[in-house]
Amino acid sequence: MNARLRFLAALFTLFLLITGPFLLTTALLMAEMPAEESHILTDMLLPRLPIGIMMTGLGLAIGLAILRGLFNQYVQGLMKMSEMTQLMLGANRNFRLEPEGPPELRMLGQAINQLAQRHDELRDNLEQQIRLANTSVEEEKNRLAALMSELTQSVVVCNLDGRILLYNNSARAQFRAFVEGGGGAASLLGLGRSIFTVIDRNLMAHALEALQSRLTAGERQPATHFVTATRAGQLMRVQMAPVLALVAQAGAADATVLPGIGGYVLMLDNVTRSVENETRRDEILQNLTEGSRATLANIRAAVETLIEYPDIDGEQRERFLRIIGDEVLSMGQRLDRTLERHADSLKARWPLEEMLGADLIAAAQRRIESKFGLSVKLDEVDDGLWIKVDSFSLIQAISYLVSRLHETFSIRFLRLRLTRNGRLAHLDLIWMGAAISTETLHGWEQEPMNLSGESTPLTLHDIMDRHGGEIWFKRESATQQAYFRLLIPVTDHQNVIEPVSPLRGDSRPEYYDFDLFKRSDQDHALDERLLTDLTYTVFDTETTGLRPSEGDEIIQFGAVRIVNGRLLRSESFDQLVDPRRTMTAESIAIHGISQDMVDGQPGMEEILPSFHRFCEDTVLVAHNAAFDMRFLQLKENLTGIRFTQPVLDTLLLSAVVHPNQDSHKLELIAERLGVAIIGRHTALGDAIVTGEVFLRLITLLNAMGIRTLGEALAAARKTYYARIQY
Amino acid sequence: MTKKILIVDDEPNIVISLEFLMKREGFQVAVVGDGEEALRKIAAFEPDLVLLDIMMPKKSGFEVCQEVRANPAWAGIKLIMLTAKGRDTEVQKGMALGADAYVTKPFSTRDLVIKVRSVLGMDAVA
């Protein structure tokens, strides 16, 4: 019941209290009296009734006044106070209550003021701390950014989904070398892009697994490295270190937190050159050692024969002397050649990693079981054995052997064995069955390993060679047991595992504030995603004319990316295209691109694939997108490239936001939304303007309650302009 | 009876010495220059011992060794591997595949002769 109603009810009660007892008493007396007495009483009372009513009215008025006073002071006073308190909580935190009214309310007001004071102090304190923390984070960020950009080492930081969070200039330069031809590095390296376009997903998963197991084993700063070949045939050495995050252990009783991997830092090195050098150096070394051995053997045999058999006849003796002469000469020449070539060989090694043999066996077992569905049992495994290996390629080699066995003999059971023989480890792959001819094994050794879904130019022979190992096949006829033996050198040095330190506040990595780490976007349908969370490619094209279906062609692409609500001008795509037709004067007047500017530029069949890669995993945005998309769709048959991602049109979205405006031309929208126009009618310039417009439209759409991509698409569809078809 | 030795090596300069040496030691000697020829010659010549180089064109010494050991008719043939590579992985592989002895180049001719005689079960000195 609200205050006013309660007031009226109180007033009514007061009236009853004043008039009730008198009326009741009179009624009772009248009922008891004999008729004539009551007549007398009536006669007495009636003429004096006005006085009674007046007195009653007076009483009521006094009561009303008192009630009003109390109501105003207490009820209204409290309501006012409550409103003022709300004000302090919200709009104006500096507001304070004026002490007024009865003493009780004054006391309450003072108490509230004190509470507000205390609350403000706390909040100031908190804000101060937040500001301080932000400043130091900002400083760290800047320091990190400065440090990263100065580094000659290429650094890329990714989250667990393989999305790039951070990269530096040398990484950018490095990636440029990995791309073949047009399109540029921009299409591979960019914030929010997937690293898997450059580095094989399986390889990364393998490396992550290795990191994880080292972490579990208690190593405090685990790191791993591997070498991979890029699409352009370049060799890249990658060092990988985890970025630790505190992961709450689900189900743990006391909710303890353990360090888990939240992402990783990659340091990239183009080792194509150094691996080439190394190969050459190996060749040199081999030439010097093994070549010399043979030569020395020839000389020694000849010399010793001459000494042992002094009775050799002249012609025979001549032959031996000639051998010695020839061989000494050839050895001298070999040394000269070697020295000459050795000068420019640098030091580099295919990195081999020390690993516990048992871990390798376990990893191989898991992989074989999951990949081929074979049952793999472990035979004798020496669990104190350390080997020096490139675990990925070695496991690949083992899997390859298993796949060949599986195909050829359809074996279903396998056993793995790891034993030590002096300085060498025997890694055996055992099965029951028939023997393999030397030709077959020779073939397997020499051909590139092709596993379902994975292929590599490396051969089994290459991999064993890289490990300084050997491989052979044997069969024990008594037991029907056949096995491949991989011989791998044992390493003496063992990893020293530091004791696990209890996790303290300061063990947290120093730089850890990238918002993208929290992003895990794989399992959300795009439609459900907030507009502010998505990654966009905003693009524009210049064309030879307005009629794509009548042979007009795209002559320029311009595109920029929007990641986390920021327009990244540095990650842009800007490319002229040869339309393979002559341009009209009218169109040249619009975009200012002349015939000789496009002649000799790459054609559509070359540009479209790299533009497609640039747009990978993003939502497309364009002004009057239907027009540009029509051009792209007409090329689908030619290039086989389809743009299947969602498309947002700033023209339509502007019509959604401002349905009463006449024009939704880009310039006018830009003006309306306060976006500065730069370089209109270059594709990149227009794309940047469109991007800025789009960012402002997102804010306006949000205010209308259009928050997700799905909602934006639906709203755009509804607008009138959506019906225009080119 | 004179023991027969087959020398398999593609380097003529070592073959000359080996051939001379083995003949002087009183063996009957045949020479071939690659692995495939070696297998044919083993069938025809039926040697008691083969001096087998590893690095050869067509078929390597390892392959020859493995094929000889795979044929029960040739079980009695002794195999001595000669190699310019001194890695112990190779030595182990050679022995695992059934070689009787392994000699790394360069070797002493006297030691080679001793090794050949001992593998053939003969006295150390002729």
Among A165, A1, A25, CA closest to A511: A165
CB A144 within 8 A of CB A511: yes
> Model ipTM?
0.73
Structural domain contains residue A511? no
| Residue A360 shares a structural domain with residue A325 | no
Q: What is the mean pLDDT of residues A276-289?
A: 74
- pLDDT score at A508: 24
Which bin fits B59, alpha (ψ -120 to 50), beta or left (φ > 0)?
A: beta
- pLDDT score at A294: 83
Listed ranges A49-63, A101-115, A334-348, B39-53; the one with the highest mean pLDDT: B39-53
Chain A's closest residue to B112, CA to CA, is A301
- pLDDT score at A340: 66
Among candidates B62, B63, B105 on the partner chain, residue whose Cβ is nearest the Cβ of A293: B105
| Residue A670 shares a structural domain with residue A703 | yes
Q: Rounded to two decimals, what is the model's pTM?
A: 0.46
- pLDDT score at A517: 38
For residue A252, is pLDDT > 70? no
Structural domain contains residue A641? yes
- pLDDT score at B78: 94
Q: What is the mean pLDDT of residues A661-672?
A: 80
Are B92 and A423 within 8 A, CB to CB? no
The pLDDT-based confidence of A501 (bands split at 50, 70, 90) is very low
For residue A336, is pLDDT > 70? yes
Are B17 and A291 within 8 A, CB to CB? no
Query: How close B73 comes to chain A (CA, Å)?
Result: 17
Q: What is the mean pLDDT of residues A620-637?
A: 85
Structural domain contains residue A524? no
More confident residue, A279 or A539: A539
> Of A271, A292, A315, at which residue does a domain stop?
A271
| Residue A257 shares a structural domain with residue A325 | no
Distance separating alpha carbons of residues A388 and A408, to the nearest angstrom: 31
Say how many domains are in chain A: 5
Distance separating alpha carbons of residues A232 and A224, to the nearest angstrom: 24
Give the E-state strand segments of A548-629 in sequence order.
Answer: 554-563, 566-576, 619-622
Quick: pLDDT tens for A373-401. Answer: 888 898 888 888 888 888 888 888 898 88
The pLDDT-based confidence of A498 (bands split at 50, 70, 90) is very low
Among A219, A232, A141, CA closest to A181: A232
Domain ranges, ordered by start, for chain B: 4-119
Taking contacts as CB-CB distances below 8 angstroms, the residues of chain B near A487 are: 89, 92-93
From A79-93, A541-555, A602-616, A694-708, the region with the lowest mean pLDDT: A79-93
The pLDDT-based confidence of B124 (bands split at 50, 70, 90) is low
For residue A181, is pLDDT > 60? no
Taking contacts as CB-CB distances below 8 angstroms, the residues of chain A near B107 are: 297, 300-301
> Of A429, A457, A489, at which residue does a domain stop?
A489
Distance separating alpha carbons of residues A612 and A616, to the nearest angstrom: 6
Chain A's closest residue to B15, CA to CA, is A298
Q: Give catalytic status of residue A681 as yes or no.
A: yes
Query: How close B86 comes to chain A (CA, Å)?
Result: 8
For residue A504, is pLDDT > 90? no
Are B87 and A472 within 8 A, CB to CB? no
- pLDDT score at A455: 66
Q: Check if B105 contacts A (Cβ < 8 Å).
A: yes
From A64-78, A518-532, A544-558, B83-97, the region with the lowest mean pLDDT: A518-532
Q: What is the mean pLDDT of residues A124-131?
A: 91
Are A487 and B89 within 8 A, CB to CB? yes
Instruction: Transcribe A139-185 into DSSP letters.
Output: HHHHHHHHHHHH-SSEEEEEETT-BEEEE-HHHHHHHHHHS-STT-G
| Residue A539 shares a structural domain with residue A678 | yes
Cross-strand partners of A416 = A378, A429
Among A168, A193, A172, CA closest to A535: A193
Distance separating alpha carbons of residues A151 and A166, to the nearest angstrom: 13
Q: How many CB atoms lie within 10 A of CB A362?
A: 15
For residue A312, is pLDDT > 90? no
C-alpha pair distances (Å), A379 with each of A366, A374, A438, B117: 15, 15, 26, 41
CB A694 within 8 A of CB A621: yes
Measured CB to CB, residues of chain A less than 8 Å from chain B are 289-291, 293-294, 296-302, 304-305, 308-309, 316, 319-320, 323, 326-327, 421-424, 438, 442, 468-470, 472, 474, 485, 487, 489
Quick: pLDDT tens for A70-109. Answer: 888 888 888 888 887 877 776 677 778 888 888 888 888 8
Among candidates A297, A421, A474 on the partner chain, residue whose Cβ is nearest the Cβ of B105: A297
Q: What are phi and psi of A260, to 5 degrees?
A: -125, 170
Cross-strand partners of A239 = A225, A267
Q: Check if B97 contacts A (Cβ < 8 Å).
A: yes
CB A56 within 8 A of CB A18: yes
Classify strands A413-421 and A424-432 as parallel, antiparallel or unpaired. Answer: antiparallel
- pLDDT score at A494: 45
Among B116, B87, B118, B121, CA closest to B25: B116
Quick: pLDDT tens for B81-114. Answer: 988 876 778 888 888 988 999 988 888 888 899 9
Distance separating alpha carbons of residues A153 and A174, to the nearest angstrom: 9
Taking contacts as CB-CB distances below 8 angstroms, the residues of chain B near A301 are: 14, 17-18, 21, 106-107, 109
CB A417 within 8 A of CB A454: no
What own/partner pairs with CB < 8 Å and gap ≥ 24 does A530-534 have?
A530/A707, A530/A708, A530/A709, A531/A698, A531/A701, A531/A702, A531/A706, A531/A707, A531/A708, A531/A709, A531/A712, A532/A565, A532/A698, A532/A702, A533/A564, A534/A618, A534/A619, A534/A709
Distance separating alpha carbons of residues A90 and A333, to the nearest angstrom: 91
Which amino acid type is present at position A336?
D
Are A423 and B86 within 8 A, CB to CB? no
Among B55, B33, B59, B30, CA closest to B45: B30
Distance separating alpha carbons of residues B5 and B13, to the nearest angstrom: 18
| Residue A193 shares a structural domain with residue A310 | no
Listed ranges A143-152, A473-482, A498-507; the one with the highest mean pLDDT: A473-482
Return the percentage of chain A with pLDDT > 90, whole number.
Answer: 6
Structural domain contains residue A513? no
Are B84 and A293 within 8 A, CB to CB? yes
CATH of the domain at A544: 3.30.420.10
- pLDDT score at A538: 94
For residue A484, what are its two tokens? 């491949």
What own/partner pairs with CB < 8 Å and gap ≥ 24 does A441-444 have?
A441/A472, A441/A473, A442/B63, A444/A400, A444/A401, A444/A404
Structural domain contains residue A104? no
* Residue listed under structure tokens 């007076």: A58
Q: Span B4-119: which CATH code?
A: 3.40.50.2300
- pLDDT score at B22: 92
Among candidates B18, B55, B67 on the partner chain, residue whose Cβ is nearest the Cβ of A301: B18
User: Within chain B, where are the H helices?
Assistant: 12-24, 35-45, 61-70, 88-96, 109-119
CB A192 within 8 A of CB A278: no
For residue A121, is pLDDT > 80? yes
Average pLDDT of chain A is 79
Are A300 and B107 within 8 A, CB to CB? yes
The pLDDT-based confidence of A510 (bands split at 50, 70, 90) is very low
DSSP SS3 for A452: coil
Chain B's closest residue to A422, CA to CA, is B88
Are A301 and B85 within 8 A, CB to CB? no
CB B65 within 8 A of CB B99: yes
| Residue A583 shares a structural domain with residue A546 | yes
> Of A41, A65, A86, at which residue does a domain stop?
A86
- pLDDT score at A341: 64
Q: Check if B2 contacts A (Cβ < 8 Å).
A: no
Distance separating alpha carbons of residues B17 and B14, to the nearest angstrom: 5
- pLDDT score at B28: 94
Distance separating alpha carbons of residues B126 and B117, to the nearest angstrom: 9
Pairs of CB atoms within 8 A across A/B:
89
For residue A522, is pLDDT > 80? no
- pLDDT score at A726: 38
Structural domain contains residue A320? yes
Distance separating alpha carbons of residues A489 and B58, to the nearest angstrom: 28
Query: How close A365 comes to chain B (CA, Å)?
Result: 25
Are A305 and B20 within 8 A, CB to CB? yes
| Residue A317 shares a structural domain with residue A368 | no
The pLDDT-based confidence of A182 (bands split at 50, 70, 90) is very low
CB B21 within 8 A of CB B112: yes
| Residue A575 shares a structural domain with residue A677 | yes
Among candidates A300, A319, A424 on the partner chain, residue whose Cβ is nearest the Cβ of B106: A300
Are B16 and A302 within 8 A, CB to CB? yes
Which amino acid type is present at position A694?
F
C-alpha pair distances (Å), A191 with each of A144, A516, A571, A690, B15: 16, 9, 9, 20, 66
| Residue A285 shares a structural domain with residue A266 | no
Quick: pLDDT tens for A16-68. Answer: 888 888 888 888 888 888 888 888 878 887 888 888 888 888 888 888 898 88
Residues of the domain holding A18:
3-86
Quick: pLDDT tens for A418-429. Answer: 999 888 899 999
Quick: pLDDT tens for A434-468. Answer: 778 878 888 888 888 877 666 677 788 888 888 88
Among candidates B67, B90, B108 on the partner chain, residue whose Cβ is nearest the Cβ of A304: B108
Chain B's closest residue to A311, CA to CA, is B24
Among B70, B71, B89, B23, CA closest to B51: B23
- pLDDT score at A589: 77
Give the number of residues written for chain A.
726
Angle at alpha carbon of residue A453, lines to A449 and A459, rounded to 5°: 10
CB A566 within 8 A of CB A688: no
Structural domain contains residue A23? yes
CB A183 within 8 A of CB A607: yes
| Residue A253 shares a structural domain with residue A281 | no
Edge-first strand order for the sheet with A481-489 is A375-381, A413-421, A424-432, A481-489, A470-476
Among A629, A544, A625, A627, CA closest to A591: A544
Which amino acid type is present at position A581?
R
CATH of the domain at A462: 3.30.565.10
| Residue A286 shares a structural domain with residue A336 | yes
For residue A353, is pLDDT > 80? no
Which of A293, A313, A485, A488 to mutate to test binding with chain B, by most B CBs within 10 Å of its CB? Answer: A293
Are B87 and A302 within 8 A, CB to CB? no
Q: Check if B107 contacts A (Cβ < 8 Å).
A: yes
- pLDDT score at B100: 93
CB A430 within 8 A of CB A379: yes
Among candidates A293, A470, A474 on the partner chain, residue whose Cβ is nearest the Cβ of B106: A293
Distance separating alpha carbons of residues B9 and B60, to the nearest angstrom: 10
| Residue A434 shares a structural domain with residue A448 | yes
CA atoms within 13 A on the CB side of A401: 28
Structural domain contains residue A523? no
Which bin fits A485, alpha (ψ -120 to 50), beta or left (φ > 0)?
A: beta
